[in-house]
A and B are shown apart, each in its own frame.
Chain A
């Protein structure tokens, strides 16, 4: 059995052992329902309070502005649907609802907007350039007095492109100063969390989504930051958990794990530089050793996460490449989805202007805190052989 090498940190990260340690008491003895008045309940409700404070500190907001959910997808759903629901209830009959987003959002955002379109909401999908970035002037041009919500992902999960969230935040703040009708601003910061500034005040966002399992925390837990005063209504109804915005007995171990994972994130220059060295070695190694390979995504390093690289390999199909690499011990992913329900390749790569065949031949390699130079070198050594073999089969 070959040693397995993990290059899919953007899909999920391993649980940090120190995070697990903090979670364990809540999976064993401390089982109380946080809503119970007795000591068992007090114990877990205090743990949740502590976790909320930690997350709030990291985001530079108040603990009352933090909601724990069951996933980042749920956070995105609550942010978008919850805000639109609250805004629409206040509107007069016939008053329109308009929202702006991008073509490269995660499905957890895009599908919610598509669903809202069916309910009469006008949705504008901003295009991106070949670098995976939106043009701020395009965004400005689409804002109307009817715009209620803007949702732009902080960093893209497939190509790592980083949007200018602070700039967008400033534009919205300027408009909100003079316009009577406020615009609310949501960002999905799931992929950004490990690397970028998440101070919600400097970003100028009203809502921000985070995931536990992308930051070496547990699966099954997400966070939604909701700025005080933002109109929002629950989409999961029931008990009055999470300020009445998300019914369901709290996943205490998950919440504690989430907060511990967040408090371990260090946005240090040293960390970033270390990762950039690995990424640079990977990019040079692949481009120099595999004929007919090209890089997808931002050209400028500062526009891209240090952890995500996306290539296309002429004459091979992504899924077979992923499976062939898996047989060699490397875990990577692709934007090629070849199933009879979704024959279309990645919506992100297509939005960036890639032709179908290039999108189908894409490979995403995402690095993480356990990635080593040795792993990169092993990959660069193996990849050309695997690509060549598949090219022989494809005759290209």
Chain B
């Protein structure tokens, strides 16, 4: 028996979302070298045409494509893949609501000692979205 369940192993062994988007609209980062996990999310956005009753006054952007690059343990890689799967096709607002429990649950629960991996990937997504919502800060970081 592996320390990880089948679902985690599947996302670790055959991740669908790994790689880089060269013309990404936003990029989110999380992790630090000390804990051994470094994660980058690349996100491509598209304007949506939501049904009238759902549309807000502000125009909606959806995550049309998302990819990750993760240096980390098996559960960090599986969690990265899962957050991409969960975020793809979502509006920015919906994506902000994805929390680490969702990531863990979708993976059939991460082992308790690995729950920080799910927190790490949601941090990276939030980092990306916050940069988009606060472009001034984002520009500074790019420079």
Residues of A within 8 A of B (CB): 315-320, 323-324, 326-327, 336, 338-341, 343-345, 355-357, 360, 392-396
Which residues of chain B are near A355, meaning CB under 8 Å?
A: 33
A-B contact pairs, 30 of them (CB 8 A): A315-B71, A316-B71, A317-B36, A317-B37, A317-B73, A317-B76, A318-B36, A319-B73, A319-B74, A320-B72, A323-B9, A324-B12, A326-B2, A338-B36, A338-B37, A338-B72, A340-B115, A343-B34, A345-B34, A345-B36, A355-B33, A357-B33, A357-B71, A360-B33, A360-B36, A392-B19, A393-B69, A394-B71, A395-B20, A395-B71
State the CA gap A326–B3 with chains docked (Å). 12
A327 to chain B, nearest CB (A): 7
**Min C-beta distance of A330 to chain B, whole Å:** 14
Q: Is the CB of A338 within 8 A of B77?
A: no
Cβ-based interface call for B104 (8 A):
no
A336/B73 in contact, CB under 8 A: yes
Closest Cβ–Cβ distance, residue A224 to chain B (whole Å): 33
State the majority secondary structure of interface residues on B. Answer: mixed
In the complex, chain B residues 80-132 whose Cβ is within 8 Å of any chain A Cβ: 112-116
Most buried by A among B70, B112, B115: B70
Do B73 and A338 touch (CB < 8 A)?
yes
CA distance A43 to B12 in the complex (A): 55
**What are the residues of chain A within 8 A of B12 when measuring CB–CB?**
320, 323-324
**Interface status of B13 (Cβ within 8 A of chain A):** yes
Measured CB to CB, the closest approach of chain B to A106, in angstroms, equals: 22
A300 to B124, CA, bound (A): 44
C-alpha spacing A323/B13, complex, angstroms: 9
Set B13, B15, B36, B113: member contacting A356, Cβ < 8 A: B36
Q: Are B36 and A396 in contact (CB under 8 A)?
A: no
Chain B residues, CB < 8 A from A327: 13
We find that the number of chain B residues with CB closer than 8 angstroms to chain A is: 29
Given contacts A336-B73, A338-B72, contact A343 B18 (CB under 8 A): no
Q: How far is the CA of A360 from the CA of B72 in the complex (A)?
A: 9
Complex CA distance for A345 and B19, rounded to whole angstroms: 26
Cα of A54 to Cα of B19 in the assembled complex, Å: 60
Indicate if B136 sits at the interface (CB-CB under 8 A). no
Q: Of the candidates A317, A339, A344, which one forms a contact with B71 in the assembled complex, judged by CB atoms under 8 Å apart?
A: A317
- Is B35 engaged at the interface, CB distance under 8 Å to the other chain? yes
CA distance A326 to B15 in the complex (A): 17
Nearest B-chain residue to A345, judged by Cβ: B36
Besides A338-B35, A340-B112, 6 new A-B residue pairs in contact (Cβ under 8 A), listed by A number: A340-B116, A345-B36, A394-B69, A394-B70, A395-B19, A395-B69
Query: In the assembled complex, how far is the CB of residue A228 from the closest CB belonging to chain B, in whole angstroms?
Result: 46
* Interchain nearest-CB distance for B101 vs A (Å): 15
CB distance from B3 to the nearest CB of A (A): 8
Best-buried of B35, B37, B114 by chain A (most CB within 10 Å): B35
Q: Which of B42-87 contact A (CB under 8 A)?
A: 69-74, 76-77
**Distance, CA A316 to CA B77, complexed state (A):** 11
Which residues from B are CB-within-8-Å of A338?
Answer: 35-37, 72-73, 76, 114
Nearest chain A CB to B85's CB is how many angstroms away? Answer: 15
Known: A320-B77, A344-B34, A356-B33. A339 touches B72 (CB 8 A): no
Given A343-B35, A356-B36, are A393 and B74 also a contact pair (CB < 8 Å)? no
Q: In angstroms, how far is the closest chain B Cβ from the Cβ of A297?
A: 20
In the assembly, what is the distance between CA of A316 and CA of B12, in Å? 13
Q: Which residue of B lies closest to A337 (CB)?
A: B36
Question: What is the CA–CA distance of A308 and B101 in the complex, to the nearest angstrom?
Answer: 40
Interface centre among A316, A319, A356 (most CB of B within 10 A): A319
Enumerate chain A residues within 8 angstroms of B15, measured Cβ to Cβ.
Answer: 393
A357-B36 contact in complex given A317-B73, A323-B2, A338-B72, C-beta closer than 8 Å: yes
A394 CA / B15 CA spacing, docked (Å): 12
**A336 near B36: Cβ-Cβ < 8 Å:** yes
Chain B neighbourhood of A394, CB < 8 A: 38, 69-72
Q: How far is the CB of B19 from chain A (nearest CB, A)?
A: 8
**Cα distance, A360 to B76, chains bound together (Å):** 14
Instruction: Report chain B residues within 8 Å CB of A324.
Output: 12-13, 74
Closest to A319 in B: B73
B71 → A minimal CB distance (Å): 4
Residues on the B chain within 8 Å of A357, using CB: 33, 36, 71
CB under 8 Å from chain A, chain B span 14-42: 15, 18-20, 33-38, 40
Report the bound CA distance from A207 to B95 in whole Å.
61
> Is A340 within 8 A of B113, CB to CB?
yes
Shortest Cβ distance from A271 into chain B, in angstroms? 35
User: Which residues of B sit under 8 angstroms from A315, Cβ to Cβ?
Assistant: 71
Chain B residue with minimal CB distance to A320?
B74
Measured CB to CB, the nearest residue on chain B to A394 is: B71
